[in-house]
Amino acid sequence: MVEITDITQGVVLVGLVALFTGLVILLKGLYLIRAGEVGVLVKRLGGRKMPPGQVIARHGEIGTQAATLVPGLYWRMPVVWSMRRSRVLQVAENEIATVEAIDGRPLPKGRLLGDEVECNQFQDGEAFLDNGGFKGPQVAIIRPGTYRINPFLFSVAKQPATEVASGKVGVVTAQDGQPLPPKFIVAPQPEGAPSASHPSARSHNFFQDGQAFLDSGGFRGPQLDTLQPGRYYVNPTLFQVQVDDVAEVPPGFVAVLRSNIGEELDQADIQPVPVTDSPDFDQTIHAAVERLLVPERNRRGIWRNPVAPGKYNLNRVAFTAYMVPTSAIMVDWARSERPDAPSLSRRPAEPRADESDYPYLTEQGEKGLSFFRFGQLLVTSKDGFKLEVDVRMVIRILPENAAFVIAHRARVQFAKYYVEAQNLLISYIAVDPTLLATQTNKEIAIQQQTQYEQQATAEQRRIAVQEMTARANLQPRVVEASYQVQINENLAKAAIKQAEGVRDSTRIQADGNAAAIRMVGQAQADAYHAQADVLGSDRVALVKVMEEVRDGKIRVTPDTLVTSGADGSGAGTLLTAFLAKLLTQPNGGTPAQPAKRAEHSDDASDTTKEEQT
C-alpha cells in the first residue's frame, strides 16, 4: 500500500513538474506586438544555415529573419525562436527617409546606389531580397507616413525635405547615373519617353523619382533642369540641391548669356577672322566675332540674343550672365574745378539704397567709372597756341549688339564695331579773345578760296555736261545712218548673189540640153552604121525613104488632082479644087494664128517642131 502511495505521489509530482514546465514554456513562447511596434523573429536552431556573405535569414534559415510581425499575440517555441521588438517608422510631412540595405546583392561596379525593387516601401524584407535588392544606399526613399520596417535589414535615416523659397532656384547635381560625356560641363537632359535605347524612360517629376531618372539615361554631374520655389521629396544621397538666388536684370541693362550646355566648340568655330585696317566690303561688320556667337540654345557659347530686364530662374552652372548697359553713357573730358564745368560722375556720389541688391553694379561699375574719368583735353593749334577743350561724348550700346561686346572685349574693337556713338559734344573751349579776329579772317580767306575753286570746278563740269548732252542728242541720227549703210550693203550683196544664181542656172540648163541632143544624135548615127554594116548603105537609104513615105513626110501622090471633063467646062474643076483645099487644110482654109512665145526653152522648141510639121 505504501508503494502504491509512493508511486502515486511520484506520478503526481512528475505531472506537476511537467505542468509547470509546460506553463513556463507556454508563457515563455508568448509574444505580444503592440500597435506602435514591429516584431522581428530570430531562429536559433532547427533550420539550415545561411550561405556565406548573407546577413539576414529568409525562408526558415537560422538567424535574424527578414519577415516582420504585425501587431498581435504570437507563440513560438522559446528554444527555437526569440523575438526582437522595435518602434514603427514615422516620417513627418516635411521629412523624407533615406534607406541603406544591410543585406542583398553587391552593387554593380560604377554604381553608388541600389536600384529600386518591389518591396512595399521596404516593409517586405523577403520580397526585397527575393527580387534582387542591392546592398548599400538605395535610390528609393520613404515619403511621409508610418511604416513597419525591419531595422535589422534596413538602416533608415530621416532627412528634411528640400525646400526652395520664393525668389530662389534649386540647382541639382546628380551623384549617380551614366558618366558625363567628354567635353560636357552640364549633363544632357534624360529622355522623357520610352525609346529603343531606354525602353523604361519616363518623367522623373523634378528629380523626385530617382529610379525614373536612372532608367531614362540620366547622367552624373550638374543638371540643366532646376527646381522652382516649392517643396520636393528628393533623395539627397542621389541628388545634391544647391539653393541660389534668381537672376535679375535691372532696367537699363540686358543680360548676355554664356551657355555651358552641349559639347565644347571646335577650334575652327571659335577662330576669329582677322580684321585688317583696309575695309573689305564683302566682309560682315561683325565677322571678327560672328563665329563666337551661337544662335542655337542647345550649344555651348555666347547666345546671340540678349535677355531683357526681368527676373529669371537661371541655372548659374549652365549659364553665366553678363550685364551690359543699354542706356546712354556720358563720357566727359573736363576740368571739374571750373564752376560751369559738367559733372564727371556717371552716378550719384552716395550709393543708392538698393545698390546692394545689384552686386555687379558695384563691382563692374567701379571699373567702368574709372574708365570714363578723363581730364580736360589740351589741344595745340597750327599756330602754336595751346587750347583747353572740354568734351562730352554720349555713347550707347544697342541691345542687339550686346553679345558682340561680350564676345570681343577689346576697346579698339568696341570703337570700330560694337558701340554706337550717339553724340560728341564740345561743351567749352577756352580761347584768348585777341586770337579770334586773326583766326576769323584767316578762315574767311580760306573759305573764299575754297568757294572759288569749287565754282571753277563746277563751270568745267557744266561745259563737259553740255558737250555730252549735244553728243547724246545727235546719237539717234548717227545710229540711223550707220544702220542704213549696213542695209544698202546687204541689198547689193543680195542682188549680186541672185544674178550669179540665174547665170549658173542658165548655163547648167544649156549644157544639159546640148548633151542630150548630142547623145541622141550619136545614138542614131551608131544605129545607122550598124544597119549599113548588115544591109548595106543602099538598102538602108531605101528603107529610110520608105519610112519617110510611110510617115507622110515624103508625098508621092498630089494633094489635089484637077482634071477637066470631056465637055471642056472648067466650073466643076474649080469647085472640086476648092473643096479639096478645105479638106486638106487643118483650119478649113483659115490662116493659122502666129504661135505664142514659150515660157521655157523646151516648150519653145516643141512648138517650133509642131509648126514645122
- Report pLDDT digits (tens) over 498-514: 888 888 888 898 888 88
Q: Which range is most confident: 147-156, 384-393, 432-441? A: 147-156
Looking at the predicted structure, is the pLDDT value of residue 598 above 50? no
Q: Are residues 300 and 380 in the same domain?
A: yes
Report CA-CA distances (Å) from 93 to 96, 140, 234, 243.
8, 17, 13, 21
Taken as a whole, the chain contains a residue count of 613
Q: Do the domain assignments include residue 584? A: no
Number of folded domains in the chain?
4
Q: Are residues 261 and 362 in the same domain?
A: yes
Cross-strand bridge partners of residue 170: 227, 243
Summary mean pLDDT of the chain: 78
Looking at the predicted structure, is the pLDDT value of residue 138 above 90? yes
Burial of 66 (0-12, 13-18, 19+ CB in 10 A): buried
Q: Do the domain assignments include residue 602? A: no
CA 119 to chain centre: 49
Q: Are residues 364 and 377 in the same domain?
A: yes
Instruction: Choose one of 184, 215, 245: the last residue of a domain.
Output: 245
The percent of residues in the chain predicted with pLDDT above 90, rounded, is 32
Q: Do the domain assignments include residue 457? A: yes
Looking at the predicted structure, is the pLDDT value of residue 413 above 50? no
Q: Are residues 224 and 309 in the same domain?
A: no
What angle in degrees, to the nearest 10, is found between the helix axes of 434-535 and 601-612? 30
Instruction: Choose one of 381, 404, 431: the last residue of a domain.
Output: 431
Band (pLDDT 50/70/90 cuts) for residue 383 is low
Q: Do the domain assignments include residue 216? A: yes
CB of 382 closer than 8 Å to CB of 311: no
Q: Are residues 406 and 267 in the same domain?
A: yes
Q: Are residues 273 and 418 in the same domain?
A: yes
Q: Do the domain assignments include residue 74? A: yes
Q: Residue range 40-55: average pLDDT?
A: 89
Look at the pTM and tell me if it is higher than 0.85: no
Tens of pLDDT, residue by residue over 270-318, are 444 454 555 454 444 444 445 556 666 667 888 888 889 999 999 999 9
User: Which residue segment(s) compose the domain that 34 sits in?
Assistant: 30-156
Q: Do the domain assignments include residue 601? A: no
CB of 247 closer than 8 Å to CB of 314: yes
Q: Are residues 93 and 219 in the same domain?
A: no
Looking at the predicted structure, is the pLDDT value of residue 612 above 70? no
d(CA 22, CA 30): 12
Instruction: Mean pLDDT check: name the lowest of 163-172, 317-326, 350-359, 379-388.
Output: 350-359
In degrees and rounded to multiples of 5, residue 147 shows phi and psi of -135, 145
Q: Are residues 40 and 80 in the same domain?
A: yes
In degrees and rounded to multiples of 5, residue 560 shows phi and psi of -135, 130
Q: Are residues 233 and 298 in the same domain?
A: no
Q: Residue range 164-190: average pLDDT?
A: 92
CA 173 to chain centre: 31
Band (pLDDT 50/70/90 cuts) for residue 438 is confident
Band (pLDDT 50/70/90 cuts) for residue 613 is very low
Q: Are residues 67 and 190 in the same domain?
A: no
What's the confidence (pLDDT) of residue 8? 75
Q: Residue range 513-521: average pLDDT?
A: 86
Tens of pLDDT, residue by residue over 343-376, are 433 343 344 444 444 333 434 443 333 346 677 7
Tens of pLDDT, residue by residue over 205-241, are 999 999 999 999 999 999 999 999 999 999 999 999 9
How many Cβ atoms from other residues are within 10 Å of residue 522's Cβ? Answer: 10
Q: Do the domain assignments include residue 235? A: yes
Burial of 504 (0-12, 13-18, 19+ CB in 10 A): exposed
Q: Are residues 399 and 323 in the same domain?
A: yes
CB of 169 closer than 8 Å to CB of 155: no
Tens of pLDDT, residue by residue over 522-579, are 887 888 788 777 777 777 777 777 877 777 777 666 666 666 555 555 555 666 666 6
Instruction: Mean pLDDT check: name the lowest of 79-88, 345-354, 486-495.
Output: 345-354
Q: Are residues 229 and 274 in the same domain?
A: no
Integer distance in angstroms from the first to the last C-alpha of the chain? 201
Tens of pLDDT, residue by residue over 100-128, are 999 999 999 989 999 999 999 999 999 99
Band (pLDDT 50/70/90 cuts) for residue 172 is very high
What's the confidence (pLDDT) of residue 608? 42
Instruction: Choose one of 113, 128, 156: the last residue of a domain.
Output: 156
What's the confidence (pLDDT) of residue 396? 82
What's the confidence (pLDDT) of residue 297? 67
How many Cα atoms within 13 Å fall on the side-chain side of residue 338? Answer: 17
Q: Do the domain assignments include residue 283? A: yes
Q: Residue range 24-43: average pLDDT?
A: 84
